[in-house]
Amino acid sequence: MLCRHCLSDLPTLHYPDNFFNLLHWPAIDLLFKKRNFDQLICVAPYVWPFDHWLKQLKYQHKFQLSLGLAEIIALQLKSYFQQNKYQKSALTCVPTDVSRWQQRGFNPAHLIAQHLAKMSQIHYQPNLLRRINTSDSQVGKTGAQRRKDLKNAFEVTDVDCSAKHIVLFDDVITTGSTVNEISRLLKKQGVQHVTVLTLAIALPK
């Protein structure tokens, strides 16, 4: 999608010594005080051009972007996937609710995740999770409002007991309420380690 020179100009996050966990960054740690996931990996802040690309994918149905965005993630986190020591790992994505699926006809997180799984050679379980209730759009809501909406919103439908490490992918993270609730459910089902992986994170201004 981009040449190597353009890739180097992207506003991506850098991980010193390949230590892939934003939760060890004090400013990020403060955003997720009560969390059920163990690791947070993000490619970039939710700024241009990532916000623009994701909006084009979601609202203009430019599906070819899902492949390009997956390539960016795979390239930026190549050493992470190479050094991943978890032998029993699986990748899954945050599910969308039925009404959103009927409206859009697709789940942006799934489109990106399926490409990423192939590129990174990690087992993909797209049906591991299911959204069981419908809520209004989470855009613009506070963390407390999101947590209330997300209570009992998901279920684990296909627990593979051999997958003790789940990499949970979402295209963008704002308050973290969604991935935190899903992480709680995964831990309840016996998953030992949950890594939240995202393309972009909305940082406080």
* Alpha helices per DSSP H over the chain: 4-9, 26-29, 50-59, 64-76, 78-83, 98-104, 108-120, 143-150, 177-188
| 177/145 Cα distance (integer angstroms) | 9
Q: What is the pLDDT of residue 112?
A: 99
Cα 189 to the chain's mean position, in Å? 20
First to last CA, the chain: 29
pLDDT tens digits for range 95-148: 998 777 778 889 999 999 999 999 999 999 999 999 987 665 555 555 566 666
Q: What is the pLDDT of residue 17?
A: 81
Quick one: tokens of 52? 């623009």
Of 36, 39, 74, 67, nearest to 53 by C-alpha is 67
| 3/100 Cα distance (integer angstroms) | 34
* The overall pTM is greater than 0.85: yes
On whether the 23-201 domain is CATH 3.40.50, my answer is yes
Task: Please say if the pLDDT value at position 68 is more than 80.
Answer: yes
pLDDT tens digits for range 194-205: 999 999 999 887
